[in-house]
Structure 1
Amino acid sequence: MMSMKIKNTCLYLPGFLLLAVVSCSLDPQVENTFEDDATWSYPDYAEGVLLNAYANIPTRFSSYSSNFLDVATDNAVTNDFGSDIYEVSTGGIRPANNPVGHWSQAYDQFRNIHLFLENGLDEKIIYSLTDDETNAEYRARLKGESFFLRAWWGFRLLQEYGGKSNNGTALGYPIVTRTPTEEELNNVEGISRNTYAECIQQIVADIDTAVVYLPVRYTGSNSVTGSTNLGRADDQVALALKSRVLLYAASPAYQNDDITGIAGMGDFTVLDEATYEAGWVRAAQAAQAALDLIGGVPGLKEGDFNSNNTPEEFIWRKYHNDRTLENQNFPPLNFGNGDTSPSQDLVDAFPAENGYPIDDPRSDYDPGNPYEHRDPRFYLNIMYNGREFLGTPLETYEGGKDTRSVNVNATRTGYYLRKWLALQDLLNVENPTNTHHYHALIRKTEVLLNFAEAANEAWGPTAIGPGTDRSALDAINTIRGNAGITDDSYAAEVAAMGRDAFRKLIQNERRLELAFENHRFFDMRRWLLPLDQGVKGVRIVKAGNGSLTYETFEVEQRGFYDIKDYYLPLPYNEQVKSNLVNNLGW
């Protein structure tokens, strides 16, 4: 179906946690050079074809032109003015330049997955010489991983390119479930996008198939299902992904026009309540199934950022042992680039420690000491004026050592990034060092947030729906309690106001919990929130007596003004060689 590059690929050998490149060359010619005697007779080589689909999943959050995708949202701005993602943040997305999209990469992985499914499970390939039972177990796991990885890359395409078309139909991507024939490759005019619903159906079917073959979890010393395989997909990972997929499927941005209508930026109407609600019921029940399997939700802790062991909060993760994030985001005085500047908008979204918003008098928020007694997640995410950094307080007041008056690469907003960084002297010019960093691909708290959002839309804030064991309010109280919020009163108060009010609280909780995890860009779009609001920072003035005053100011305008900005355009090179229908307005 799709035009796919089949001549040569990167082969990766297992051990899974450290993948060694054997060869790598991509060529647009339609030629399969996986020789039977070379690739499909040796188990390591055969498995290496499949491992490409793992290896191409990013190992760090700053994977968008070396930036977090949050810098193209109201969460942050970037100092990296030459990056493609800065151009995105100012509205520079276009079919010929879309650094948010991964169209070719995803179809390359489909190719690898299908080649493996069609060749790598042949009985002549022996994956374990120990005994027939272990070999069958290994083969079954690889089959489950193949279907899971096809679901993962399919969802990535759907997340990035799914959208309404000009005729009001929600479309996805052209589904591919096998290696295309030469005739199909040469018939580009015959390629068409499947509907969004068809893509969801395919992804969910792949996940359900994967669950049949994958282990529930990796534990113990078994060579196939033991803990040495952590990082591969298992049933927990698959069901967690399913909860994410069905959450997107229920979201207002991805319904046909007879279900939701978009009148303008931040303005939509539900036209078919029954169908709309049914999608949320399905999403809530999928999240419940994932929660039943993964068990407790501990929440994110500072020690999780650089732990030597997989944190309990992470369902699926990759890792990197380097100092890249610190190079990118430490203040310039500490030899970093200061790339990511969290916004005042994000700072203001964190409530007080007692759970009340800072504009509520019951929060006891003090504008003269704005960083005291805040939601503990604020301190997990943000470095601010006066906070100690490597033994010295940050100075982001006017004229301070960590401002743009001293170094042009200093913060643009008055804040630096804390999340995911190792607060160690890794960039010491005389003795630079590396350390362990985790990249959480799916967190347990995300699944609980998925449940809260879907349950609220399906049954309201306090009802416990069929097949579930908690309400949306229960889920949010668990999340806030894990974070260190000391009082549930505010959440209960909002829940009493009904579904619409509680939706806003859930959306804010998701913003805080998943900040700098590359969710916000897509969440704002699937929720149809306004995208055209400027991003603010803080200007701090220090008086002669040492007192500080705080004034907000606009740092950057966002260049998203039209309904079409809720969706990304299809790649230009795909448009010129086929008849693919583009997204609304493109």
Structure 2
Amino acid sequence: MKNIRFAILILILLPVSSCEDDFLDLKPLDSISEANVWEDLNLIELYVNDRYNELPHGFPQWAGGLRMTGITDESYHMHEARFLDKYTQGGLTSGSLNMYYFNGFWLDAYKAIRNQNIFLENIDRYEPNTGEEDRVRQLTAEIRFLRAYFYTELISRYGGVPLITTTFNVNSNFDVPRASFDDCVEFIVNELDEAIVDLPNRGDAIGASFGRITKGAAIGLKIRALMFNASPLFNVANDISKWQQVADACEELFNLSQYTLSSDYQGLFLNPMDSEVIFFKQFLDQFGFELVDEPSDFYFHYRGGHNINEWRFPNGDGGWISENPRQEFIDQYETVSGHIPVLGYTGAPNNLQPIINPNANDYNPNNPYQNRDPRLRYSVLYDNTEFKGRNLEMWTGGKDSRDPNVDFWWNGHRLGYGIRKSLDESWNLNDGVSGGQPWIYMRLSEFYLTYAEAQYHLGNYSTAVTYINQIRQRPGVNMPPINSSGDLLQKIKHERKIELAFESNRWYDARRWLDAEVDFAKDIIAVEPINNPSTGTRSYRYFYFEGGTGNRSFPQSHYLWPIPIEEILKSNLQQNPGY
């Protein structure tokens, strides 16, 4: 059916630039009077819509994408390594790096919070007509969710932060101290509990409301905040009651009966209507909002596209293959018998020999991608795998190998792999650089894994195993079940690493577990496929990408980001340790 498109101009209702006195200043309205906005429900809704656009996402994009995989042990980001090395090599300071990943996030988050505070201070000025009360309450709940979202992201990066709930004027006290982490979590949870009451269920969010914030999204965000609060990074006293709060919130989500595990692990990242998806961001290749009227395709979109296809597509299909999974991460994908195939490496830095797990009898080092967890094939581009109707040629001189005549930064791959997850294989270079597939913020598998982790800490091992195995044994994955013998917590961590790979979870998880000092400090291992033209077979050379020089590091200070030096100098904020 022909698309019916309604492009709505974005109203720049309020300026968002900060003054030199504080990051939450309030300047005069410019393009439309304040009185007009809060007297018209359509303008109010447009204001809320534009707040959605402030949400960051994890896709490659010239601005607004938080590509967290490149600062973890998941992958190496070729195009942006020159920026991210400050973090991955232990050189991050409060003043040395002025870019979106670090200093810029603090500023942008508080700008968004300021815009949300403006709404909450003014919405009571609107006198709803008969039948509009529920809509006003829902919009207010959406704003409360968005404010809670940014505070959750802030505390996960910085620890306790200033809780700003009003806009500032010339008479305001700008020296707002950092609240404790527990107080921040309490604020977030209270905000979300209040919002949940007035948000629709997924099944009720139809038409133009599909894709807007729902009860499930709000409960999911509450789970994340409580999970951070319960984890070792912030739960220094090991208060087990905090894990009970996590478990209770997970059960609150499950009891909605709105979501089920997907049987299409690869396809769910292209389909926001998949039964597993809880909250997503759908994109357009143009500015504005749009309703797409097609069978089963009528929902709320965001302005702008992203560059994921061009950044991640293989060279042979016009892409840059810029995000390269690391060999040691690939080794974490089990064989179909349920064993990790490679336990480590030995030998010369430029010719490493894999230490093969003797229990992995179904692993063939001459065909290392055969008999592996299906999620490897769904998530990673590797040599000889099928993609867009052909087998990839990642070997030197192959169609998908690096071009020695093209600049380093725009010319992957360097590690032998690319990220497949979320790629739209129907895309072609002539279609342009923008992509429209959704960014999945939350899906049910994440919260099954969180529930399993909470139940482990509560001593309910059989329940933890049950929820892990529901993920492993769902259709399309069909991996062997785990049991509670051995180190169950490590099994839970491993499953979370594999299931949520390249979805911007790994950076948060390794830090909250206090594992990053070891996991993120390992040297990068790469693979070079070598083609035998006479037989068409491959052999594989493994080597340290950076020569095994040990330049990867994760100092203890990196568990939290530094507050931007500009904010420290103009206020009484206390800096995080180590900066």
TM-score when normalising by structure 2: 0.83
Q: Secondary structure at the match of 2:415?
A: coil
Structure 2 residue 126 is the aligned partner of structure 1 residue 119:
no
Contact map agreement 1:299 1:479 (CA 8 A) in 2 = no
Q: Secondary structure at the match of 1:253?
A: coil
Q: What CA distance in whole angstroms lies between the structure 1 residues aligned with 2:554 and 2:56? A: 30
Contact map agreement 2:315 2:321 (CA 8 A) in 1 = yes
Match of 2:241 in 1: 278
Q: What CA distance in whole angstroms lies between the structure 2 residues aligned with 1:520 and 1:247? A: 14
Contact map agreement 2:379 2:419 (CA 8 A) in 1 = yes
Percent identity reads 27
> Among residues 322, 325, 334, which one is paired with 1:339 in the alignment?
322
Q: Secondary structure at the match of 1:361?
A: coil
User: How many residues align structurally?
Assistant: 515
Q: Displacement, 1:302?
A: 2.1
1:309-458 aligned within 5 A:
310-322=273-285, 324-358=307-341, 359=357, 361-362=359-360, 364-404=362-402, 406=404, 408=408, 409-428=411-430, 432=432, 436-458=436-458
Q: What CA distance in whole angstroms lies between the structure 2 residues aligned with 1:16 and 1:278? A: 50
Q: What CA distance in whole angstroms lies between the structure 1 residues aligned with 2:158 and 2:525? A: 29
> Among residues 181, 194, 219, which one is paired with 2:179 in the alignment?
194
Structure 2 residue 194 is the aligned partner of structure 1 residue 209:
yes
Letter in 1 for 2:77: T
Letter in 2 for 1:111: R
- Quickly say closer, same or farther: Cα 1:410–1:111, change in 2 above 3 A: closer
> Among residues 5, 8, 26, which one is paired with 2:16 in the alignment?
26
Letter in 1 for 2:450: N
Match of 1:178 in 2: 166
Q: What CA distance in whole angstroms lies between the structure 1 residues aligned with 2:6 and 2:502? A: 24
Contact map agreement 1:291 1:448 (CA 8 A) in 2 = no
- Cα displacement string for residues 338-391 of structure 1 (whole angstroms, at most 9, x for unaligned residues): 211111122111111232322352451111111112111101111111113333
Q: Displacement, 1:520?
A: 1.0
Q: What CA distance in whole angstroms lies between the structure 1 residues aligned with 2:400 and 2:126? A: 62
Match of 1:9 in 2: none
Q: Secondary structure at the match of 2:398?
A: coil
Q: What CA distance in whole angstroms lies between the structure 1 residues aligned with 2:561 and 2:530? A: 41
Q: Secondary structure at the match of 1:537?
A: strand
- Quickly say closer, same or farther: Cα 1:300–1:107, change in 2 above 3 A: farther
- Cα displacement string for residues 231-286 of structure 1 (whole angstroms, at most 9, x for unaligned residues): 21121111111111111111101134xx2xxxxxxxxxxxxx5x2x2211211221
Q: What CA distance in whole angstroms lies between the structure 1 residues aligned with 2:326 and 2:18? A: 42
Moved more, 403-412 or 231-240: 403-412
Contact map agreement 1:91 1:559 (CA 8 A) in 2 = yes
Contact map agreement 1:91 1:560 (CA 8 A) in 2 = yes
TM-score when normalising by structure 1: 0.82
Match of 1:8 in 2: none
Q: Displacement, 1:321?
A: 3.9
- Quickly say closer, same or farther: Cα 1:142–1:81, change in 2 above 3 A: closer
Q: Displacement, 1:67?
A: 6.8
- Quickly say closer, same or farther: Cα 1:19–1:54, change in 2 above 3 A: farther
Q: What CA distance in whole angstroms lies between the structure 2 residues aligned with 1:64 and 1:73? A: 21
- Cα displacement string for residues 468-517 of structure 1 (whole angstroms, at most 9, x for unaligned residues): xxx1100100011126444545x11xx122xxx11111111111111111
Q: What CA distance in whole angstroms lies between the structure 1 residues aligned with 2:365 and 2:154? A: 44
Q: Secondary structure at the match of 1:507?
A: helix
Letter in 2 for 1:303: G
Match of 2:471 in 1: 479
Task: State the Cα RMSD in Å.
Answer: 2.6
- Cα displacement string for residues 156-180 of structure 1 (whole angstroms, at most 9, x for unaligned residues): 1111211xxxxxxxxx110112223
Contact map agreement 2:323 2:418 (CA 8 A) in 1 = yes
Q: Secondary structure at the match of 1:183?
A: coil
Contact map agreement 1:306 1:436 (CA 8 A) in 2 = no
Q: Secondary structure at the match of 1:542?
A: strand
Moved more, 191-200 or 40-49: 40-49
Contact map agreement 1:342 1:416 (CA 8 A) in 2 = yes
- Quickly say closer, same or farther: Cα 1:107–1:237, change in 2 above 3 A: same
Q: What CA distance in whole angstroms lies between the structure 1 residues aligned with 2:316 and 2:235? A: 49
Match of 1:549 in 2: 539
Q: Secondary structure at the match of 1:315?
A: strand
Letter in 2 for 1:78: H
Q: Where does the alignment leave 5 or more consecutive residues of structure 1 unmatched?
A: 1-14, 163-171, 220-224, 260-272, 463-470
Letter in 2 for 1:73: T
Moved more, 174-183 or 246-255: 174-183
- Quickly say closer, same or farther: Cα 1:18–1:298, change in 2 above 3 A: farther
Structure 2 residue 529 is the aligned partner of structure 1 residue 540:
yes
Letter in 1 for 2:362: D
Q: Displacement, 1:585?
A: 1.2
Q: Secondary structure at the match of 1:569?
A: coil
Match of 2:107 in 1: 104
Letter in 2 for 1:138: R
Structure 2 residue 160 is the aligned partner of structure 1 residue 158:
no
- Quickly say closer, same or farther: Cα 1:329–1:19, change in 2 above 3 A: farther
Q: What CA distance in whole angstroms lies between the structure 2 residues aligned with 1:82 and 1:561? A: 16
Match of 1:522 in 2: 508
Q: What CA distance in whole angstroms lies between the structure 1 residues aligned with 2:51 and 2:474? A: 34
Contact map agreement 2:219 2:252 (CA 8 A) in 1 = yes
Letter in 1 for 2:557: K
Q: What CA distance in whole angstroms lies between the structure 2 residues aligned with 1:504 and 1:17? A: 49
Q: Secondary structure at the match of 2:229?
A: helix
Q: Displacement, 1:413?
A: 0.7
Contact map agreement 1:355 1:363 (CA 8 A) in 2 = no
Q: Secondary structure at the match of 1:440?
A: strand
Q: What CA distance in whole angstroms lies between the structure 2 residues aligned with 1:451 and 1:385? A: 36
Match of 2:291 in 1: none
1:195-274 aligned within 5 A:
195-219=180-204, 226-256=206-236, 259=237, 273=238
Q: What CA distance in whole angstroms lies between the structure 2 residues aligned with 1:339 and 1:87? A: 18
Structure 2 residue 77 is the aligned partner of structure 1 residue 78:
yes
- Quickly say closer, same or farther: Cα 1:283–1:18, change in 2 above 3 A: farther
Moved more, 173-182 or 83-92: 83-92
Contact map agreement 2:313 2:321 (CA 8 A) in 1 = yes
Letter in 1 for 2:471: I
Q: Where does the alignment leave 5 or more consecutive residues of structure 2 unmatched?
A: 20-25, 286-305, 342-356
Structure 2 residue 290 is the aligned partner of structure 1 residue 290:
no
